Structure formats: C-alpha cells, structure tokens
Amino acid sequence: MDQTGEERQHQIGLIQTTQKITEYSSMNIEQLSPFAGRVTGINLSHVTSSQVASIKQAMDQHAVLVFPGQHIGQDEQIAFAKALGPLELGFRKIKAGAHRLKYNELADISNVTVDNEVAARDHSKIVSNLANQLWHSDSSFQKPRAKYSMLASSVVPDFGGETEFADLRLACDHLPDWRLDQIKDKNAIHSALHSRFMLGDTQYTPEQIATFPPVVWPLIQTDPHTGRKILYVGAHACEVENMVLAESRMQLMDLLEHATQRQYVYTHHWQVGDLVMWDNTATIHRGRYFDLSARRELRRATTQEVDTSY
C-alpha cells in the first residue's frame, strides 16, 4: 500500500511540528544553536530500539544533542552506548592503570584520583584534561574512528569547565571556493600523541607509541547519511600529505581557525545530571578553562564508527 510522506514519518517516529521544535514520538527537540538540540521526554536509562533509531536520526540532523536531568548510572550509560554501536576504548588502550569507574569502556573525564582526591597539577589525569581543552574529534587518530561520544556530568565546578562544539558541516559549507579547491583532494595525517607531545607530555614507551600508528583521513568528507560535506580537522591532524611540513601545519591551523568561528560553535554550560552526545565525524569539541583545584567529574562512553562506506 502506498504511504504518504507523513505516514512514513510517523512510522519512523519523526513528526515535524514547528520549525523550532521537532517531535520524535514523546521525544522533544528544541534548537539551542544552528545545529545543537536539547532533548526532553526521554529517559536514557531505559531506551527502546525505536528511541535509539530516533536518536540516531536526530544526531544526523543536529550532530550534538543535550539531554538535561538524566543522572544516568554507569550500567545504564554503558547499555545506552552499546545500543548505539560497538564501544571504543580510546586512550584506555595505552593507559590501562587503576580506574575509578566500573567499566574500562567508560573514560573518567575528571580531575579526581582513585583515592577520590583532586589530582595534583602534575598528575597524568590533569594532562589529559588539558589535552581535552584543544579542539579535537575523539579518536580521529584511529581506524575505525569514534562515532558517538556520550558525556555525563556528576560534579561541575562553579566557574568555567564548559564544553564547546563546532559543526564541521557548517564550517565546510562556508569555506571560500579558493580554499575548497586547494584542499578538496588532500588528506591529513592524524596522530594520537601529537597533541600530547605539544603539551610536553612525552613519557610514552615504544609499545604505547606503536599502539597508535598515524592514520590518514580526507580533509573534506561526505557524510554517508546526510550527504553533507565535512571539513575534517582538529588537534590530532598534524600534517597534510604531499605538502611541505611547515606549509601544511599552517594550513591546518588556518582551517581550524575557520572551523571554530563563533557562528559554528555551541557552548554547553554543564548542570549536574546532563548527558551530552555528539557525532565525532561531524563535529569537534574542547573543554574550557576551569580551576584545576575545583572538582569536575564527568564520564564518557564512545562508540566506534561502523558505517565506513566512504
């Protein structure tokens, strides 16, 4: 039987109501910026498969979704992430020491030690916190790379510690033609430890370094689901292939500056209990300054990209 577009949309749980609010069954999405959305009417501790499908669809559109007031537990965060794809370990592959959290697959994005004390300024966790303050896409230094990251907050500092997101699709849409022509067939080399080395964090064994050999990604990519073009840059991109090194680094810095102009950025001011989810293939993000002696505790689950058809 022939269906109207509206019937089809109802079936997949997508009903356009107004320009500002989109309703996915009981899930409501309010526009927070030209891309990011704020989602209410869903409990992430118990998602159904149709809700997971709606979330993926909403992620294609928004690339960043904020779910306030979730207060999700560790078991539920893992279950939610698993429903979205295979889990990604990221840096835990080489830093597998004592862990505060129940699962190796949960990244402890906090400045707190296993003894539940705020870490000293020279602690390796603080270095990781600081590396997160550089614009980056989680695990762009790997193949497969990360797709979704889901960061849940439990303690937030009084001042600072926001997380910013830049939409690489908007950035690509607004690249000047001359620049697009210059880079459209170019590839960047991404390396896990480049940004760490830049911060003076150089204490890695040959085995750790060998765990993350550099990988190559096109600078301009097309999202297989939305058809949108993406300017794929960030702190892990350290060179452009087949270019003089200095010129290639300058170009990457210029591109990053373009991609992170305020009009492409959403700033998230954390409340305890928020869960923020982003698509690492379409956005970059960074943490913002906070007083390192103030507690800040978040945890992140990340999935691997499975659809690598491009």
Enumerate binding residues for Mn ion (CB under 5 A): 138
Report DSSP letters for 52-72, one per residue.
HHHHHHHHHHHSEEEETT---
Are residues 268 and 33 in contact, defined by beta-carbon separation less than 8 angstroms?
no
Q: Indicate the residue whose CB is closest to Mn ion.
A: 138
Q: Which is nearer to ligand OGA, 46 or 269 (CB)?
A: 269
Rule CB under 6 A: is residue 85 a binding residue for ligand OGA? no
> Out of ligand OGA, Mn ion, none, which partner does residue 228 contact, by CB within 5 to 8 A per kind?
none
Of the candidates 1, 63, 56, the one whose C-alpha atom is nearest the C-alpha of residue 32 is 63
User: 165: which residues sit within 8 A by CB, 6+ positions away?
Assistant: 36, 63, 64, 265, 266, 267, 268, 278, 283, 284, 285
Would you call the peptide bond into 157 cis, given omega within 30 degrees of 0 as the criterion? no
> Out of ligand OGA, Mn ion, none, which partner does residue 147 contact, by CB within 5 to 8 A per kind?
none
Q: Which amino acid is at 121?
A: R
Cβ of residue 131: shortest distance to ligand OGA, in angstroms? 8
> Out of Mn ion, ligand OGA, none, which partner does residue 163 contact, by CB within 5 to 8 A per kind?
ligand OGA
Binding-residue pattern over the window 110 to 139 for ligand OGA, x denoting contact by CB under 6 A: ----------------------x-----x-
Are residues 107 and 96 in contact, defined by beta-carbon separation less than 8 angstroms?
no
Q: Which is nearer to ligand OGA, 14 or 277 (CB)?
A: 277
Rule CB under 6 A: is residue 33 a binding residue for ligand OGA? no
Rule CB under 6 A: is residue 234 a binding residue for ligand OGA? no
Written as six digits, the tokens of 179 are: 């620049």
Are residues 185 and 108 in contact, defined by beta-carbon separation less than 8 angstroms?
no
Q: Indicate the residue whose CB is closest to ligand OGA.
A: 287
Cβ of residue 242: shortest distance to ligand OGA, in angstroms? 30
Q: Which is nearer to Mn ion, 76 or 88 (CB)?
A: 88
Sign of the Cα torsion 13, 15, 16, 18 reads: negative
Q: Which is nearer to Mn ion, 35 or 278 (CB)?
A: 278
Are residues 94 and 68 in contact, defined by beta-carbon separation less than 8 angstroms?
no
How is the beta sheet containing 215-218 ordered, strand by strand? 215-218, 187-190, 237-240
Cα 241 to Cα 89, 139, 187, 188, distances in angstroms? 27, 19, 6, 6
Cβ of residue 299: shortest distance to ligand OGA, in angstroms? 9
Of the candidates 237, 238, 233, the one whose C-alpha atom is nearest the C-alpha of residue 284 is 233
Rule CB under 6 A: is residue 287 a binding residue for ligand OGA? yes
Rule CB under 6 A: is residue 285 a binding residue for ligand OGA? yes
- The correct pick among 300, 301, 303, 305 for binding ligand OGA (CB under 6 A) is 300
Cβ of residue 136: shortest distance to ligand OGA, in angstroms? 7
Q: Which of residues 151-170 bind ligand OGA (CB under 6 A)?
A: 151, 163
Q: Which residues bind ligand OGA (CB under 6 A)?
A: 109, 132, 138, 149, 151, 163, 285, 287, 298, 300
